[in-house]
Structure 1
Amino acid sequence: MGLEFYDLTHPWGLGQPCWPYFADVEIVRLHNMSKSGVLTQKITTVMHSGTHIDAPGHVVPGTAFMDEVPLPNFFGTGVVVSIPKKKWEVITAEDLENARPRIRRGDIVIVNTGWHKYYGDNQHYYGYSPGFYKEAGEWFVEKKVKMVGSDTQALDHPLGTAIAPHGPGKPDGLLPHVCEEYLETTGRTVLEDFPEWEPCHKAILSNGILGFENVGGDI
């Protein structure tokens, strides 16, 4: 039996969903068939739109950009694990340790929380998703996996990103009402439960582990 290929990407193009502070994708036809007899298009996009890979240089100064990552890093044993999660739930080290098939050293790991079914231009997908946080990032580093991906909006829980009052999201977060709702629902502030900005990003990328965000398709 030959190789089987699986597409783990969401459709990409004009009008596609974007993270809350990213500019929209623009596709302009500079030449079209009826006028020029040739089609030429100009695409303007943020590199982190749709399903994509984060290189270490995304968050760690002085580390590799995508063109500097050795090609062997993109090849290996892939494993997709199902860890169903609901609104704002955290993917823990225990979840990862108990996942089947077992995650092993050198694996390319994709975590299916089920959240990809909400992918779209909506705040539910971006502001209320489950996700990794510091503990998961440290677990991936200890396990020495090769790459990590998730079917959620980022490599970190949304309340550990600028959606909450972190980094460029200070002082109120990009989606303040989400932070207010978290307080009303849990009785705790976002910063009590998610005090660090993108610790999973920093843990894995600083150790040369690349990350996939917004995984979908055939997952």
Structure 2
Amino acid sequence: MCSPQILAAALAEAPPHDDLCGGHGHTAGARHEHGAHANGHGAVPDGHSASAHYRYSAAARREHSAAARREHSTAPHHEHSPAAHHGRGARTPHEHGASATHAPGRGAAATEGIGRRRALRTALGAALGIAGASAAAGAIGAPRAEAQPLNLGGFSVRDLTHAVGPEFPVFNLYVRQPVQRQVMFEEIIGFNTAEWTMNEHTGTHIDVPAHSQRGLAHADAIPVENLVAPLCVVRITERAAQDNTTELHVEDLLDWERRNGRIPDGAFVAMDTGWYHRVHDPAAYLPFDPLRLALLIPGIGPDAAEFLLTERSIVGFGTDSSSLDVGTRFEPMVHRMLLRSGRYGIENLAALDTVPERGATLVVGAAKLRGGFGAPVRALAFV
């Protein structure tokens, strides 16, 4: 286990958030998001609140100083440096010299920041046992465990999910483009993290009952047994290639059943239009007709929805286009029919042409967002 004294020392020497992230692509606007106006504090550098700027408590500093005094009392006197008497690591002449290369206006404060960051990395590395791990492994030649393939009993896994990034096509009238902002960096504190800003209905995502009507189930209340289901894929790719606004109809479902048998109870029905192949061309993925003020994308017809909801026992249905409803329908009729029945839908599915019409099992890894009207999903098919 790591020493409390080491952790206390690391925390006492840790720089504020802007010291960790400064100089790595943050703008004044990004810092302002966490700034004095947002938090109601004034005159704190870079917009951090007084509590955030001095978030390392006096107790932690006292523990750090106590650790240094204990170290001083037990170690031989000739091993002490002036820095040890002050409870912090001494700077080398090289570190002092490095301050001359910093931009004007930072001076000693910049050198102080470098020393604190190095102390933090060293202390945390020692505490967590990660400092020099790569070098040690190379020197000692520690054997690496071989990755063992998961035994799926003859099944393979297909990913039916789009990768989401800032470039993913969204209908800007309703949804903002995703934004990724890195806030921590491995070269400063040993690891990377980013903050994402995105609508819950971006990319491959689930629509839940509360999306259509308040008081119905949110994303965190979908029964887990409904998120694993037999997958039935109904293909209308040839028709969609000729007609952007084609719809899935009852006859398509009956044709599917003539080939595959009755849609099983508890199934999820997915409409394969081949639309996911267009995702790298936003104009083709979300073609907009300014004269009709409509998206020209395929959807599920109300007759097919009615059949699935009343004549069959399904957990939900979905599509590889960006809407359950055809883009020319101004009222989200199919959304309402499905979601107000307590079932869920999935939009922007991918790679439905890699799974058979019948026989696969869908696993919906939906983010459990409390109060969510939808959520990103990782949709997987076991074939």
**Which TM bucket (shorter chain)?**
0.7 to 0.9
Residue 125 of structure 1 is matched in structure 2 by: 285
Paired residues of 1:146 and 1:209 also in contact (CA < 8 A): yes
Q: Structure 1 residues 81 and 123 mapped into 2: Cα distance closer, same or farther (>3 Å)?
A: same
Find the aligned partners of 2:199 and 2:351 in 1 and give their Cα distance.
21
Residue 177 of structure 1 is matched in structure 2 by: none
- Identify unmatched segments of 5+ residues in structure 2: 1-152, 287-294, 354-383
> What is the letter of the counterpart of residue 112 of structure 1?
D
> What is the letter of the counterpart of residue 88 of structure 1?
T
Paired residues of 1:137 and 1:199 also in contact (CA < 8 A): no
- CA apart distance, 1:83: 2.1
Residue 157 of structure 1 is matched in structure 2 by: 326
Moved more, 198-207 or 133-142: 133-142
Instruction: Report the secondary structure of 1:53's partner residue.
Output: strand
Pick one of 51, 55, 60 that aligns with 2:204.
51
Instruction: Report the secondary structure of 1:158's partner residue.
Output: coil
Instruction: Tell me, yes or no, if structure 1 residue 27 matches structure 2 residue 196.
Output: no
> What is the letter of the counterpart of residue 153 of structure 1?
S
- CA apart distance, 1:35: 2.8
After TM superposition, list the pairs within 5 Å mapping 1:45-84 onto structure 2: 45-84=198-237
> What is the letter of the counterpart of residue 318 of structure 2?
G
Pick one of 67, 89, 95 that aligns with 2:252.
95
Find the aligned partners of 2:160 and 2:308 in 1 and give their Cα distance.
21
Residue 214 of structure 1 is matched in structure 2 by: 348
Q: Deviations over 1:27-50 (max 9, x none)?
A: 111111123322121111101111
Paired residues of 2:230 and 2:264 also in contact (CA < 8 A): no
Instruction: Report the secondary structure of 2:303's partner residue.
Output: helix
- CA apart distance, 1:218: 5.3
Instruction: Report the secondary structure of 1:201's partner residue.
Output: helix
Find the aligned partners of 1:12 and 1:101 in 2 and give their Cα distance.
34
> What is the letter of the counterpart of residue 304 of structure 2?
A
Instruction: Tell me, yes or no, if structure 1 residue 136 matches structure 2 residue 293.
Output: no
- Identify unmatched segments of 5+ residues in structure 1: 161-165, 167-196
Q: Structure 1 residues 218 and 148 mapped into 2: Cα distance closer, same or farther (>3 Å)?
A: closer
Paired residues of 2:275 and 2:285 also in contact (CA < 8 A): yes
- CA apart distance, 1:93: 1.5
- CA apart distance, 1:9: 0.8
Pick one of 86, 104, 107 that aligns with 2:264.
104
Paired residues of 1:116 and 1:214 also in contact (CA < 8 A): yes
Paired residues of 2:300 and 2:326 also in contact (CA < 8 A): yes
Q: Deviations over 1:148-177 (max 9, x none)?
A: 1111111110112xxxxx4xxxxxxxxxxx
Residue 187 of structure 1 is matched in structure 2 by: none
Paired residues of 1:118 and 1:124 also in contact (CA < 8 A): yes
Pick one of 166, 169, 186 that aligns with 1:14.
166
Between Structure 1 and Structure 2, whose CA radius of gyration is higher?
2
Instruction: Report the secondary structure of 2:159's partner residue.
Output: coil
Instruction: Report the secondary structure of 1:98's partner residue.
Output: helix
How many residue pairs are counted as aligned between the two chains?
184
Find the aligned partners of 1:81 and 1:214 in 2 and give their Cα distance.
15
Paired residues of 2:305 and 2:338 also in contact (CA < 8 A): yes
Structure with greater contact order relative to length (CA < 8 Å, sep ≥ 6):
1
Paired residues of 2:230 and 2:267 also in contact (CA < 8 A): yes
Paired residues of 1:133 and 1:198 also in contact (CA < 8 A): no
Residue 170 of structure 1 is matched in structure 2 by: none
Instruction: Tell me, yes or no, if structure 1 residue 204 matches structure 2 residue 338.
Output: yes
Find the aligned partners of 1:62 and 1:88 in 2 and give their Cα distance.
32
Find the aligned partners of 2:342 and 2:157 in 1 and give their Cα distance.
25
Paired residues of 2:234 and 2:271 also in contact (CA < 8 A): yes
Please give the TM-score of this superposition, normalised by the length of structure 2.
0.45
Please give the TM-score of this superposition, normalised by the length of structure 1.
0.77
Paired residues of 1:154 and 1:213 also in contact (CA < 8 A): yes
Find the aligned partners of 1:121 and 1:63 in 2 and give their Cα distance.
35
- CA apart distance, 1:71: 0.5
Q: Deviations over 1:43-102 (max 9, x none)?
A: 111011111111111112210011011100111211222122321112112112212434
Paired residues of 2:234 and 2:252 also in contact (CA < 8 A): no
- CA apart distance, 1:123: 3.3
